[in-house]
Amino acid sequence: MLIDSHCHLDDERLAADEEFVLQRAGAAGVEYLVTIGTDEKTSAAAAKIASRHPGRIFHTVGAHPSDVDRFGEAELSEIERLAHETGPKAIGEVGLDYYHDSNREKQAVVFERMINLARQLSLPLVIHDRDAHEDIYRILSEKARGLKIMMHCYSAGPSFVDRFMELGCLFSIAGPVTFKNGQDHRDAVVKIPLDRLVVETDSPYLTPHPHRGERNEPAYVKLTAEKVAEVKGLGLEELAERTTQNARKFFAI
């Protein structure tokens, strides 16, 4: 039994095909899915999808750092309303993205506002960190103490594991751990204790080997789980059981 702890089922590449995507996920042993909001529209769509599949699909409400240039008060208030009214299992994805070119100061302001929202609602945080590890760590350690935190598609390598461990974070491992050039991801997995690991697809993005280049979908979380199990020297079944336990506890599902 597996959980895909991070997917974007509202994305048209998956939504157009929802029934078959969910069938294939079921056939691959993916019992639960967490579909992630990134703005006011995708968060509302995620809530709708979850409401159609109670007990199987859960959702989050978030404000993605790459979208901040578009976020005014109306959009942020709507995200907050959705967080209060649709029963999300976490606030996210939220964080910082220094790879894409959006306003860094505003990213930090929106990120901190979302951390406050999580605190208000006693919800965990799902963090997007792209090329912003130092600032993510600093803001989390200043503002998010005591909150549950998941580093989505953990990409900061083995050297940051200790710092994020100290914040109590879970580390969510995605497709890049299967890539030829994914050694840094595998080295991080070696270092992360089993009780802090979860797996995700981030579908439709980040498709694991051997499907790299195609659309990703939740069934492929099994390929990532197999690689993580191999790196950890465990059987797939044990790895699946432990990561599922960790994710269920985190999201309270």
Residue placing its CB nearer to Zn ion in the complex, 39 or 80: 39
Q: How far is the CB of 6 from Zn ion (least distance, A)?
A: 6
**What is the greatest pairwise CA distance in the chain?**
49
Residue placing its CB nearer to Zn ion in the complex, 15 or 194: 15
Query: What is the token pair recorded at 235?
Result: 């059987």
CB 136 within 8 A of CB 129: yes
Q: How far is the CB of 92 from Zn ion (least distance, A)?
A: 9
Determine the residue with CB nearest Zn ion.
202
- H helices of 122-196, in order, are 133-143, 161-166, 183-191
Q: How far is the CB of 33 from Zn ion (least distance, A)?
A: 13
Q: How far is the CB of 203 from Zn ion (least distance, A)?
A: 9
Residue placing its CB nearer to Zn ion in the complex, 225 or 232: 225
Query: What is the token pair recorded at 194?
Result: 């089993």
Residue placing its CB nearer to Zn ion in the complex, 129 or 202: 202
For the chain, the residue count is 253
Interface residues with Zn ion (CB under 5 A) are 202
Q: Which amino acid is at 187?
A: D
DSSP 233: T
Report the alpha-carbon distance of residue 59 to residue 49 in Å, rounded: 8
